[in-house]
Each structure stands twice: as C-alpha cells, then as structure tokens.
Amino acid sequence: MKYIIFNWKSYLNISESMNLSKVVSKLPSTKKYKLISSPNNFYNLTLKSRYPKNIYAAQNVDLHGKGASTGSIDIQDLVSNKIKFCILGHSEVRSNFGETDLIIQKKTDLCLHNKITPIVCIGEPVDIYKSKKTKNYLKKQINKIFKKSNIYNEVILAYEPLWSIGTGLTPKMSEINDILQFLTKILKNYSFKKIKILYGGSVNLSNIKEILSLQKLDGVLVGSASTKPSFIKYFK
C-alpha cells in the first residue's frame, strides 16, 4: 500500500477544503493507497467531524501546549479529534518559522508519545544538491532528529528536496532511487517499529505513475497538484 498525502498548505479556504474532502470521501476504498489529507490547521477539526472516515494530518503542532500559549496548536486537540498524523519540519515551516532539527526532534517525540504518526520532512537546498553533498546533508538531518537510543513506533519520513518544492523540477528517478536506498541503509542504525519513506516535490498527474512505480518508495507527499479534484480522483 502506498501512502498518498495531500498537503493543501494554505492554498484553500474552508469551503474549498470541504469540497476536496468530499471528493476524497467519495473515492472507493482500495488497498492500493492510503489517502491522508492535510488541510490548513484551522479547518482540520471541522473537516474531521464532517468527514469522519477521511484520514487527516495536521500541518504542524506546538511544543507549548494547553494554557497560556497564544497561537499554539495543542497536541491534545489533535488526539481528541482523531487526527492521527502530523507533518513536521516541512521546509516552509523551517524557513518561515525558524524551526530547527532540534525542535523537530522534540515534536517527533511529542507526537509519538501521543500516538500520532509524525510525517517528518527532510531535504537538501539547491547548492547542496549541485555540489553532490545531498547524502551527507540528509544524514546530518536524520542524526539530529532521531536518537539511536529511542525505540520509535510508526514514523513516515518524507524526502523533499527544497529545490523541487513548487518549482516543477524533480530529481531523476535514478536519483530518487539512490536516495531511497541510502535512507533505507542509514535508518537501520535506528530502531523503528515501522518506517515509511515518501518522496515530495512537484509531484503531479504527469509524473505520479512513474514516481509510484519505484518499488522501494512507500508513497508521495503532494502540494499544489493535490488541490485539484482531478489529481485526487487518480487514486480511485
């Protein structure tokens, strides 16, 4: 089964998110795909109560939870509203809000402690890619986010090269495969009960088939293309 995660970022308003959730809810259930929608956090709770069978992911969560914490999203709000997944360390959160690997490490632990599966994003900037230092860069990110002494439950790792997000550029299939093999190898140094590796960055209707044909890839994390009903209907 391949994980297909729709990251709607902040593209949609509430009624557009409702409409897309309706499209998702109407798809026949299939063992081929696990569909997870990640709307803007403001709408998650409304959408989950309207479409309880859809699977939703939060786009982030805060370390400072309930209480005097203006602007925070408390993990208990996700738990009590049956939001089972949470994207962490997306490059836009890293760059817009200064989120560091250390913060992502803490949030990963917080999610797992509350039985929420983290979707942890990693990926290299263009200069690192061009100087062929991607593997070293990803290894460092992983090293900072995961602890060798921990036993992790289910974790989803999304490899999203920064230069590929929103640009229409994707790595060659052979490059994605190479990174997948590398990640699989280094993740063996950690204890995961279940680990899935996804690719994200400019996935769309014209490349989805080829990308999903990569045997070792467990799925995709899709941004702007996933805001189109035609893309969602591909997964019927």
What is the smallest separation between the CB atom of 223 and ligand 13P, expressed in angstroms?
Answer: 2
3-state secondary structure of 66: coil
**154 given a catalytic annotation:** no
What is the smallest separation between the CB atom of 156 and ligand 13P, expressed in angstroms?
Answer: 12
Residue among 113, 154, 160, 210 flagged as catalytic: 160
**160 given a catalytic annotation:** yes
| CA angle, 232 then 177 then 4, to 5° | 20
| CA angle, 27 then 234 then 207, to 5° | 155
Nearer residue to ligand 13P within complex by CB, 116 or 158: 158
Nearer residue to ligand 13P within complex by CB, 28 or 57: 57
Nearer residue to ligand 13P within complex by CB, 47 or 198: 198
What is the smallest separation between the CB atom of 84 and ligand 13P, expressed in angstroms?
Answer: 18
CA distance 65 to 88: 16
Q: 33-48: b or e for each residue (b if 16 or more CB lie within 10 Å)? A: bbbbbbbbbebbbebb
Nearer residue to ligand 13P within complex by CB, 185 or 210: 210
What is the smallest separation between the CB atom of 149 and ligand 13P, expressed in angstroms?
Answer: 29
C-beta neighbour count of 79 within 10 angstroms: 14
Q: Which residue is nearest to ligand 13P (CB)?
A: 223
Question: Could you tell me the two tokens for 30?
Answer: 């299939």
Residue among 16, 64, 90, 113 flagged as catalytic: 90
CA distance 91 to 83: 22
> Which stretches of the chain bind ligand 13P, using CB under 6 A?
7, 90, 160, 165-166, 200-203, 221-225
Catalytic residues: 90, 160
